[in-house]
Amino acid sequence: MNLIKLSKKIIRYTKKLNSTNLSSLRSGNVSIRAKKKGINGFFITPSGVNYSSLKPKDIVFVSLKGRFDKKKGKPSSEWRFHQDIYVNKKDAKAIVHAHSTCATAVSTHQKSIPAFHYMVGVAGGEDIKCAKYATFGTRNLSRNILSALKNRSACLMSNHGQITFGKNLDNAFELAQEVENICHQYINAIRIGIPKLLSKKEMKIVLDKMKNYKKD
């Protein structure tokens, strides 16, 4: 994919954050792993630009060493955890970070989402972890996110939102929608009491089946 097409795809999905209510106004960010002039890195949404007015030239390239051309704009203030995920997760080709309503609400409890429904397995484990709180844009937040993403492709971020990655941007965005839906279901489930949870054995069966979930 050439760089213009890549930038346009990022813009399209960034606007979808708004249109699907995954994030409002300028919140959230999107990135795609890529190379530019032989340098490994990623393209990411910029800082402080209204998503409705984004143009391909606004999308910022950041190297995996965290370098970017300041003359061409500033990347999202949260570029560091995108960088750290790409460095540590070789299967991460695209990342979606959203302040979606239900995921953010659940994240304020600073607890993982347990196996109240088998679909928590879409994140890759028997629960969806919640990363410990740290100030946005800091290396501490990156470390906490990487810990919560161990053996998983999605997590909540305490008092913040959610983050997902995938083999492409379509995949990462769909996963973010799945996480938001799971959080919506969980909020409703706990309103009527404490849900009965699936056992580790039951979730192992689910996770084995989910390895081929998208192939069926």
For the annotated catalytic residues, the residue numbers are 78
CA 42 to chain centre: 15
Decide if 123 contacts 179 (C-beta within 8 A): yes
| 57/16 Cα distance (integer angstroms) | 19
Decide if 91 contacts 32 (C-beta within 8 A): no
Decide if 155 contacts 176 (C-beta within 8 A): no
Q: Is the dihedral of CA 189, 190, 191, 196 positive or negative?
A: positive
